[in-house]
Chain A
């Protein structure tokens, strides 16, 4: 089954559409959980980490309907490239990819659920949905959490809540986040003002690949900053409210741009499409920026016959490990830039043929 994932570069859940999918690319909920009386992974022995995997595996096996068809994969059974592909698909964290000591991931067939074992915490439940579906993702994570807890004793404190390796996660242990494509706000130069306002309501803003990424292609990840003192529902409500406002502002900005400079906008996205269709060498940064402009053009009806999911797919496909998986060999950065241009051209051919 794992070969399947690696063959189909973009995750299956991405193919789905969700509410506000033209602006909200995805919604994610992550729960950090630890078992009682077992040291956290950084200080745990082999017996301990094995116990974590077995306990989680057993509890979810008994509840097959809860998690659905899934597979457990040990990190030590994967080569570096395979791990990196999973990181680029947001299925595992960069930290898990680095860990070999009885670290594992339980992946649901559609890749919408991944449960990381022995990462920074014993158990990290992650649910990913396309579009703005935070509540749905929360419900699923909550349900899986209950299933695991039926046979696992969690480290929980009446006053501090769920105990985690890092004090920045203690309490709910929950990180809720949305990935947004905001080219309208960026083009109209409102983005800095708006993003800085977000900080005032307890949310944090990051680039495409979480903590280790710069903001490129106008893609922003917004998540709750604190985990203690508020209920999960309130945290989600807060993030949901801010996201909806951002969607509104982005729509407004797009409309204004359309009213004021439609021809320039059409020119910009048309040129971006031309570059992507004809480039022979392209960096990931340039590709993401052009893809952002193309996607905006598609969303606004300025570019016809281009598949709107082009950005979601290529965002993953053009990353280094996915490229090398596709090329079936190691590539140096220059070769990657060539391979990247090739993949983009193929993907564009595919989508335009399909439409026309």
Chain B
């Protein structure tokens, strides 16, 4: 999410202030937070996650609703692009494929990346675990060759071969 004060940098400091029993969420970047003394200032918060996400998808929600140019819809859960724009939430795992094209730039802006490099589940991960293992082994193979540890390199090479056969 972007800083609600300057809209230039990502918001990294979040809190809620309560004034006269009215709750207001505050989201600021490090620069604006620094300028605010003791987290105490008045900003009219019109922030919402939905609008924010829609903004990242490259259009404002009003536009999308009126023009209705893209009739993209998920065939598994029935979620439309308009609904996503409104809720900021997907309806099922398949949505990620359906809205994939528009999704990438959004993920890039939220996370700074579009590819997972974390845990791979044993079953659902399919062949990815093996592929990850192979690329790890290839790296250590290079290191062995560099250090002229040829005996160990041969072992690793055989292991890679075995795993590659498993993939086929």
Q: Are A159 and B91 in contact (CB under 8 A)?
A: no
**B93–A199 touching, CB < 8 Å:** no
Q: Please, how many angstroms separate the alpha-carbon atoms of A226 and B118 in the complex? A: 12
Residues of B within 8 A of A303 (CB): none
**Contact assessment for B12 and A204 in the assembled complex, using a CB-CB cutoff below 8 Å:** yes
Tell me, in angstroms, the Cα distance from A227 to B14 when the chains sit together. Answer: 18
* Complex: A228 Cα to B116 Cα, angstroms: 5
B33 interface neighbour in A146, A192, A206, A207, Cβ under 8 Å = A192
The stretch of B63-71, B124-132, B141-149, B155-163 that contacts the partner chain: B124-132
Which A residues are CB-close (under 8 A) to B46? none
Nearest residue (CB) in A for B84 is A167
* B89 is an interface residue with CB less than 8 A from chain A: yes
B76 at the interface (CB under 8 A from A): yes
Report which of B33, B79, B113 forms a contact with A228, defined as CB distance below 8 A. Answer: B113
CB atoms of A231 and B118 under 8 A apart? yes
Contacts of A212 in B (CB 8 A): 16, 23, 25
Among A8-16, A37-45, A336-344, the stretch in contact with B: A37-45
Is A154 located at the chain interface by the 8 A CB criterion?
yes
> What residues of A have a CB within 8 angstroms of the CB of B121 in the complex?
145-146, 149, 154, 156, 162
Residues of A with C-beta under 8 A to B107: 160, 167, 170, 228
Which chain B residues lie closer than 8 Å to A39 at the CB level?
76-77, 91-92
Binary interface encoding of chain B residues 21-43 relative to chain A, with 1 for a CB under 8 A from any of its CBs, else 0: 00101000111011011110000
Q: Find out whether the CB atom of A36 lies under 8 angstroms from the CB atom of B103.
A: no
* A214 partner residues in chain B, CB cutoff 8 A: 15-18, 39
Q: Which of B16, B38, B53, B111 contacts A207 (CB 8 A)?
A: B16
A211 to B13 alpha-carbon distance, docked (Å): 11
Scan A170-189; emit 1 where CB is below 8 A from any B CB, else 0.
Answer: 11101000000000000000
Structural contact, A229 and B93, CB atoms closer than 8 A? no
Chain A: number of interface residues, binned into ranges: 35 or more
**Can you name the residue of chain B whose Cβ is closest to the Cβ of A146?**
B122
Across the interface, do A171 and B31 meet the contact criterion of CB distance under 8 Å?
no
Interface size class of B (residues with CB under 8 A): 35 or more
Which B-chain residue is minimally distant from A212 (CB atoms)? B16
Complex Cα–Cα for A198 and B36 (A): 16
Contact indicator B87/A192 (Cβ below 8 Å): no
Q: Across the interface, do A207 and B15 meet the contact criterion of CB distance under 8 Å? A: yes
* A263 CB–B CB distance under 8 Å: no
The answer to whether B154 has its CB under 8 Å from any CB of chain A is no
Contact flag A229-B89 (CB < 8 Å), given A167-B110, A214-B15:
no
Of B18, B37, B120, which one neighbours A192 at CB under 8 angstroms? B37
* Chain A residue nearest in CB terms to B100: A160
Given known A199-B30, A228-B111, contact A205–B12 (CB-CB < 8 A): yes
Whether A134 is near chain B, meaning CB under 8 Å from some CB there, is: no
Docked Cα-Cα span, A153 to B92, in Å, equals 14
Question: Once the chains bind, are B36 and A157 in contact (CB under 8 Å)?
Answer: no
Contact in complex: A157, B96 (CB < 8 Å): yes
Across the interface, A36 reaches (CB within 8 A) one of B10, B37, B93, namely B93
Q: Which residues of A are in contact with B by a Cβ distance under 8 Å? A: 34, 36-40, 42-43, 120, 142, 145-146, 149-150, 153-168, 170-172, 174, 192-193, 195-200, 203-207, 211-215, 225-232
11 sample A-B contacts, Cβ–Cβ < 8 Å, listed by A number: A150-B123, A158-B116, A159-B114, A160-B96, A160-B114, A165-B90, A192-B33, A192-B38, A203-B12, A226-B112, A226-B113
| New contact pairs (12) apart from A161-B116, A163-B90, CB-CB < 8 Å | A37-B76, A39-B92, A43-B91, A149-B124, A153-B124, A167-B107, A171-B118, A172-B118, A195-B33, A196-B13, A198-B12, A213-B15
The 6 closest A-B pairs by CB, nearest first: A229-B113, A199-B12, A161-B116, A155-B93, A196-B30, A228-B111
B contacts, CB < 8 Å to A: 10, 12-18, 23, 25, 29-31, 33-34, 36-39, 53, 76-79, 87-93, 96-97, 103, 106-107, 110-126, 128
